[in-house]
Amino acid sequence: MLGLVSTSSGADVVGVLKAALPIGIGLASAVYLTLKMTRQFDHGLSKTIPTVALRPGDKTHDAEFFEDPDLFLTTCTERYGPVFNLYLYNQFLTIISGPLAREVFMTDDLNFGDALDDTTGMHSFTTSMTKSKRTFDDPAIHEMIRDIVNPNLALFTPRIVECMQMIADKEFATGDRKLIADPQPIFQDMVATAMADVFMGRKIAKNRKVLDSFIQCMSTLTNFTALGFQKTIWRILRARTTYGLLSPLQQHVQVLVDAATPVVQERRRQEAEASEKGLEYDRPLDILQGLLDNFDKYGLKDLEDVCGHILVMVLVSVHTTSDSSTYLSYYLAAYPEYIEPLFQEQLTVLNQISQEREEQRQEKLKSGEIASVKDFEGTALDRQHDRDLTSAAVKRMVKMDSFIREFFRFRSQRVSLAHLARKDVLLSNGITIRKGRKVMINVQSVHQSYDMQGEDPTEFRPWRFIGKSKAATKASTDFLPFGMGKHACPGRFLAVQELKTVGVLLVSRFSNIEMQDPSKKMKALLARLGTPVPTGLYFTSRRV
Ligand code: HEM
């Protein structure tokens, strides 16, 4: 690595790049890299942060890291302590490990969105969708999810279940053992359909153009993020030009506006009519309505801006949740011995709930509050709904919750959750992270720590969290898939609810799921959306 570093410094990187363009892309990149690295050495690194020595012959740490990430990170931490520098993913990074990682999330001066933008140009992507030019991590978007989505989750759940069930019935329709070479599109469809319903309401969600727009936007985002953490100047320039200047996502915003306009007009008409009659308007339950009702509070400009915000939320939710849903099915395939216990738990919970509801009905009949069994029809205690997959039922499925938390813990990328320093930040161990420096979390040191995770931290043990008050949604120092602190993912409650629904549907529908090519097991377990699915899955129906 040091061999690449020239002694000159302070030159204007962009200027040099422009001059180098005619010479050729390869040379320009080399010049850029050299200058960038030099600048980092001169200005970015605190003297007290050790830089990990390169393996002889290597120019960056990538090869050594990717050969065996766990071994590499453990060795670095043992040799250099919890904070060290690496040259990884085409950039200098400060890696922060163990309990110290918490401090990264607890200050606003280290920012997740800025780091993502620095690597990918993400802000151009999301700001191109809203008139208010908001980034996905704008406080207003966080508040919309916190205040409109999360409190209504229990009410959204039956709709999520219904949408997902509908797609599963269609796509998984099989009487025997069926190979699905690439299950990703099915899970994307399941998640996109459920999200469309929650965000835009049933009527608009049924509009095929809207759903297609969601799916197309998501695949654009998948391509956009396909390079992962790899930083290249071209990637950022392309993002800034494509999304900053050309705004190709605007056509999808327009699809939403066209679909929403008549629905919003009709809602307004009904509201006015109810008001004239002195009646309370029965507000539709969806995010569209929530945003219309709080238009000024969130500083929204018009219906186009509302739809733009919805598209931003849909994008961050559908991409992440369908990725996790897809790989949840791979975990069930990799550990099929857990399918039956998860199914049995589901049956036990639904049996218990049915019994409790029956007891409540009997009490009401006994007390005379309800005259006959028939009178329960259409009420909350209607027998027809005894075995519904409600949010209360899913909450009782502690094995499913633990399985999902363990899946997140096990699957997490070993180095992740980049944050960019907006100011100098002093960590409690006396190390200063200089303004402009990018830090990443050594997630392995947290998710595979014996002290934080208990026994066999490198093993997949799905019942690890049962009885430990560690729900899959609980973002904390020992569980980082959703970040933590003030900026912890506000959509994690919705995401986990959907994931549990996917898990419940899979284990109730299939007695077995197997990998088509078992030799690809580990690759499949650590794969990410945007990378090709390494092997298909066999689904064996319970009806056989
Ligand atoms: C499996 C699914 C998901 C994963 C793994 C995930 C992960 C994350 C992570 C790691 C962060 C950064 C947290 C930090 O800075 O500390 C984040 C932020 C965010 N997520 Fe998620 N997320 C998921 C689903 C969702 C969903 C469903 C929504 C919307 C309904 C959403 C909306 C957001 C927003 C708005 C932020 C920015 C929060 C802020 O900066 O204040 N996410 N997410």
Establish if 536 belongs to a structural domain: yes
Pocket of ligand 1 (CB under 6 A): 105, 112-113, 136-137, 141-142, 145, 149, 313, 316-317, 320-321, 324, 417, 481-484, 487-492, 494-495
Establish if 391 belongs to a structural domain: yes
**250 CB neighbour count, 10 Å cutoff:** 15
Confirm whether residue 76 is marked as ligand binding: no
Atom of ligand 1 nearest to the CA of 141: 35
Atom of ligand 1 nearest to the CA of 494: 27
Residue nearest atom 29 of ligand 1, based on CA coordinates: 491
Establish if 150 belongs to a structural domain: yes
Distance from residue 49's CA to the centre of ligand 1 (Å): 30
Establish if 24 belongs to a structural domain: no
Residues 220/253, Cβ–Cβ less than 8 Å: no
Report DSSP state, residue 51. Answer: B
525-539 burial by CB neighbour count: b if 16+ within 10 A, else e? bbbebbeebbbbbeb
CATH code of the domain covering residue 208? 1.10.630.10
Distance from residue 190's CA to the centre of ligand 1 (Å): 19
Per DSSP, the three-state class of 111 is strand
What pLDDT score was predicted for residue 223?
A: 83
pTM of the model: 0.89
Give the pLDDT means over successive 10-residue stretches in the chain (544 positions).
28 35 44 45 60 96 96 97 96 96 96 95 92 93 96 94 94 83 92 93 92 87 86 92 87 96 96 95 94 95 96 91 94 97 98 97 95 93 94 96 97 94 95 96 96 95 96 96 95 96 96 94 79 87 76
Distance from residue 370's CA to the centre of ligand 1 (Å): 46
Domain interval for residue 140? 45-348+386-541
Distance from residue 139's CA to the centre of ligand 1 (Å): 12
Atom of ligand 1 nearest to the CA of 416: 10
What pLDDT score was predicted for residue 439?
A: 98
Atom of ligand 1 nearest to the CA of 485: 16
Domain count, the chain: 1
- Candidates 48, 44, 84; CA nearest to 421 is 44
Sorted by sequence, the CB contacts under 8 Å of residue 279 that are 6+ apart come out as: none
Establish if 154 belongs to a structural domain: yes
Distance from residue 470's CA to the centre of ligand 1 (Å): 19
Establish if 2 belongs to a structural domain: no
Residue nearest atom 16 of ligand 1, based on CA coordinates: 483
What pLDDT score was predicted for residue 167?
A: 94
Establish if 8 belongs to a structural domain: no
Q: Which two tokens stand for residue 332?
A: 């069930």
Establish if 491 belongs to a structural domain: yes
What pLDDT score was predicted for residue 222?
A: 84
